[in-house]
A and B are shown apart, each in its own frame.
Chain A
C-alpha cells in the first residue's frame, strides 16, 4: 500500500460521499457545494494520474464557471429554501432500484475484465505542450467545430432567455 493507493482510496471515498450528498441533500445550494467537492476529488484523481492540465481545466471550467452558473440560477430563483416537492416514496424507491440494477449489471460485466496494471511512474502525457500538439494537429477539425458549437449554444441561450416583448400579449388579446 503505497502513497498512490492511499490517495486513491481517500479521493474515491470523498468523491462517492459527496456524490451521495448531491442527491440526498434537500437544499439545492448544498447540492451545488457537494458537486463542487466532487469535482475537486475528481481533479485530485486527475493529478494522481498525471493529467495535470485536465485537473486545472476541470477546476476552472467546472468548479469555477459551470457551478457559478448553477449557483446564480438557484439564487436568482430564490430556491435556497427547502420547498422542493418530493416524489412519492414508491417513485423514489423505483429510481434507486433502477440505478442499483444498472450498477449490478455493469458490475457483472466488468467483474471479469482483465485488470490492467497502472504504471505509477510519472509521465508527461498530460502536460500542456504534449496535449496542445495533439489537439492542434490530429484534432484540429473537431476543435474548430467545437467553436461553432459554442457560438450556437451562446446564441441559443440568448434567444431562449430573452424577455418577450410586453406588447405581444396585448396584440394577441386584441
Chain B
C-alpha cells in the first residue's frame, strides 16, 4: 500500500497524542514544555504533507509562522520557569497549586 495522506494524518495524530499524554503525565515543567513543542511539530508535519499533496506553498509559510510563535513561547516560558526555580527551588508544577488559594 503506497503512502498516501491517511498515513501522514495517522502519524501526525500519533505524535500529537503522545504530546498530550506527556503533558498530562509528567510533573516537570520543562518536560511539559517539550511535549508542547512535540505537539506543534506534529501539526507542522501535517501542514507540510498537505502542502506536498496540493502543491501549495502557503502551508509551508504557515509552518514558518508556527516556528516563530514556538520560539517566542519558549523564550518567555523558560524565563518563567527560571524565575519559578529561583523562588521555590523546584520545577514541580504541583507547587503551583498554591496559585489557587
Contact = CB atoms under 8 A, between A and B. Distances in A.
Range for the number of chain A residues in contact with chain B: 35 or more
A142 B65 contact: yes
Nearest to A11: B11
A15 B15 contact: yes
A99 B21 contact: yes
Q: What's the dominant secondary structure at chain B's contact region?
A: helix
Contact of B27 (A4, A15, A85): A85
Interface in A41-71: 42, 45-46, 49-51, 54, 57-58, 61-62, 65-66, 69-70
B24 interface: yes
Contact of B76 (A85, A103, A153): A153
Contacts of A135: 61, 64
A117 B5 CA distance: 7
Given A22-B38, A49-B52, A146-B65, A69 B18 contact: no
Contacts of A130: 57
Nearest to A152: B72
Interface string B21-53: 111111110110111011001001100110111
Contacts of B23: 95
Contacts of A77: 82, 85, 91
Secondary structure call for the A interface: helix
Contact of A38 (B25, B38, B78): B38
Nearest to B34: A35
A130 B58 CA distance: 11
B30 A28 contact: yes
Given A113-B5, A149-B68, A139 B61 contact: yes
16 contacts: A23-B22, A31-B34, A54-B60, A54-B63, A61-B71, A62-B67, A66-B37, A73-B81, A74-B30, A92-B25, A96-B24, A99-B17, A113-B6, A146-B65, A150-B72, A157-B78
Given A54-B48, A139-B61, 17 more contacts: A19-B14, A28-B28, A31-B34, A35-B34, A45-B48, A49-B52, A51-B51, A77-B91, A85-B94, A102-B17, A103-B14, A110-B10, A115-B6, A150-B71, A156-B76, A160-B79, A160-B80
